[in-house]
Chain A
């Protein structure tokens, strides 16, 4: 029966109210800083640089007063995969011709480059989990969408539809739980009609694939129908795309926000451009 529960898995919008320094930062600043950290982590190929990023991520979690068991909850289920991937990467790394080879046996070669790449990938994964945790656990969803709207607003000068983009994101996030319920209802309805839902074992691939179809197709169609109704409702209430709209909450950046942003820019720049030895 557990297979029929979908809404339980929807953890979007989880928020941990610890009222820390990070929680009180302007959400716009947090969003920009988050993007910078993610870019820094994906640009850094050095082992030492990634170690520093890991320490900074831990510091960020501590600063946001997020317990490690929340902040790193995404890492635990991934550990077996990370290990497997690392082993595969080390064994099957395609070495450059001049690489220093540690061990060579038939098609398996272990090189320092391969080990380094595996370690960097694992570290990068943990860094990303930490950055995402810090952002989403310290910022509510409505704050995030409003921050996105505010940040995109300057792009209006380039005829980029900033308000519309933010509205789109709000609609998407708002509809996830609704559609989860809808999918649950569809699964139960189809199962009541004798559909093959929740009975196939994980390794019965074809049966599982086929059992998805009678839920997925009506889910799409009913979602599109809901979209039609929402368009009608919005027009009836006088929504005009691109017309100026006011907001309930206005943000004002403070000194601490400027400091946080300056610190982030400085640290990210250092990590990306420092000539790390390895």
Chain B
């Protein structure tokens, strides 16, 4: 998957430690956003809140690949399941399953656009938007399948909640990944000089 052919075994091991740690730390942010009000922006709709809790999964997918993104999404799903005060999210098929795909989709979008040489400042907002849209669409799909909400209700939640969420996600993903990659590049330079 990662094509380590040009890298020594030691390098490969090191990046695996990296993946474990980054997953853990970003999952910690997902949990923190979930248990405090930091991750919620209250919106007066049936679903309750616009959330930025899925962002760690998006950022993990972009920085460390689909496995990391998927696992962070899984942990996010577990917290939202454990912590839910909304009956809809006490259903693991709604709370957990769709969340696994957030980071995977984010990685696919990001890697795909990178391959066709889309510059990062265009790529990152699109990735953030799509990662968030994945969350909205799949969760609402599961709600529709499990709770039989009417389509107009589902669609209005998608627009009222999903759209602002996706825009916020686009902005924050760009800011965070841009800042972080900027930092590592500067560090690398200072090490050489």
Contact = CB atoms under 8 A, between A and B. Distances in A.
B146 to A, nearest CB: 9
A12 B35 contact: yes
A165 B43 CA distance: 35
A122 B14 contact: no
B179 interface: yes
A121 B55 CA distance: 29
Interface in A140-174: 164-165, 167-174
B91 A124 contact: yes
Nearest to A167: B20
Interface of B: 13-14, 16-18, 20-29, 31-32, 35-38, 41-43, 46, 48, 50, 52, 55-56, 59, 63, 71, 75, 81-82, 84-88, 90-93, 147-150, 153, 164, 168, 171-172, 175-176, 179-180, 183-184
Given A42-B92, A183-B32, A215 B172 contact: no
B17 A172 contact: no
Given A77-B85, A220-B180, A169 B24 contact: yes
Interface of A: 6, 9-12, 38, 42, 74, 77-78, 81-82, 85, 88-89, 92-94, 117, 121-122, 124-125, 128-129, 132, 136, 164-165, 167-176, 178-180, 183, 202, 205, 208-209, 212-213, 215-217, 219-221, 223-228, 230-231, 234-235, 239-242
Contacts of A217: 172, 175-176, 179
Contacts of B93: 42
B27 A172 contact: yes
Interface centre among B17, B52, B55 (most CB of A within 10 A): B17
B25 A224 contact: yes
Contacts of B24: 167-172, 174-175, 227
Contacts of B52: 212, 216
Contacts of A225: 183
B57 to A, nearest CB: 12
Main secondary structure of the interface of A (DSSP, over half): helix
Contact of A168 (B23, B85, B183): B23
A128 B32 CA distance: 21
B32 A230 contact: no
A97 B124 CA distance: 47
Interface centre among B43, B85, B171, B184 (most CB of A within 10 A): B85
B117 to A, nearest CB: 25
B32 A176 contact: yes
Contacts of A169: 24, 27, 75
Given A124-B91, A209-B50, 4 more contacts: A172-B31, A220-B55, A221-B179, A240-B13
A230 to B, nearest CB: 5
Nearest to A9: B36
B35 A216 contact: no
A251 to B, nearest CB: 22
Contacts of A176: 28, 31-32, 35
A205 B52 CA distance: 14
Given A94-B150, A124-B91, A212-B38, A220 B28 contact: no
Contacts of A85: 46, 86-88
Contacts of A81: 48, 85-87
A155 to B, nearest CB: 14
B41 A205 contact: yes
Nearest to A35: B92
Given A81-B48, A85-B87, A221-B183, A213 B148 contact: no
A168 B36 contact: no
Contact of B28 (A136, A173, A202, A212): A173
Given A85-B86, A220-B59, A183 B92 contact: no
Contact of A122 (B55, B87, B184): B87
29 contacts: A9-B37, A12-B31, A74-B85, A88-B46, A122-B87, A124-B90, A136-B82, A168-B27, A169-B24, A169-B27, A169-B75, A173-B28, A174-B28, A176-B31, A176-B32, A202-B42, A205-B41, A208-B42, A209-B50, A216-B52, A220-B59, A220-B172, A220-B180, A221-B180, A221-B183, A227-B21, A234-B21, A235-B14, A241-B16
